Amino acid sequence: MIRLILLDLDGVVRHFDPVATRNIEAQYALEPGVIARRAFAAPLLERVTTGRISHANWVDAIGSAIGNVGAAREWAAQGTRIDRVVIDLVHSTAVPTAILTNGTDATRRELAKHGLTNGFPRIYNSAEIGITKPDPRVFRHVLDEERLDPGAVFFVDDSSANVEAARSLDIHGHVFTDAPTLADALRDLALGRNRNDERITRSDRLETFDAHGSA
């Protein structure tokens, strides 16, 4: 019996607009793709997502690496989108939900600012735990905190490596692509709506807000 739905944040609940990043790079005459390459490269990404440096320091380090701190700060301040269809879908199951994110020290502030902590009162943030996905220890941490057996958890992430790590511990895992396939996975676990109910279509209910920072 599933007693917890555990969701990744970025790429599942929260989405960034790649066009906005390309526009910033063009505006500052930067090589296309350079911001992401620097922002998400080792060891810088690991340092911020394990809490060894702050989000602010991470952004400034990106700026130094690309030769333009202003561009990095503008990138970090860009708006993101919240997928309300996914949120409504998991909440419709009446199973408790939680977030597990490779985040930064800014993640809770970003989510609280826009009320997401109300819908997800339990947020597991790698920057606070000190371990990132796909390390199995971060999943064990959640299991211990929730006092649950692996088979009682359904984990959703857009990274296949993270999902495989969860499955290696016998946690139910689903690689997220869109809301309809997630709905099918929930129904397969007897958590979703009846198959005769109206089909969920790809989300057009996306809420824009001003936050950036979880990796």
Residue type, 113: K
d(CA 62, CA 64): 5
Tell me how long the chain is: 215
Question: With respect to CATH, is domain 4-15+79-209 assigned 3.40.50.1000?
Answer: yes
Domain spans of the chain? 4-15+79-209, 18-76
Query: Tokens 């390459």 identify what position?
Result: 37
Q: What is the pLDDT of residue 118?
A: 83
d(CA 84, CA 131): 28
Contact 184, 74 (CB under 8 A): no
Q: What is the pLDDT of residue 192?
A: 67
Q: What is the pLDDT of residue 92?
A: 94
Q: What is the pLDDT of residues 37-89, one digit of tens each?
A: 999 999 999 999 999 999 999 999 999 999 999 999 999 999 889 999 999 99
Q: What is the pLDDT of residue 185?
A: 96
Peptide bond into 136 cis (omega under 30): no
What predicted TM-score, i.e. pTM, was given to this entire model? 0.89
Q: Which residues of the chain have pLDDT under 50?
A: 194-199, 201-215
Cβ atoms < 10 Å from Cβ of 204: 8
Q: Please tell me whether residue 84 adopts helix, strand or coil conformation.
A: helix
In this structure, what are the phi and psi dihedrals at residue 201, rounded to the nearest 5 degrees?
A: -100, 170
d(CA 116, CA 110): 9
Query: Tokens 């009446």 identify what position?
Result: 94
Q: What is the pLDDT of residue 114?
A: 73
Q: What is the pLDDT of residue 117?
A: 85
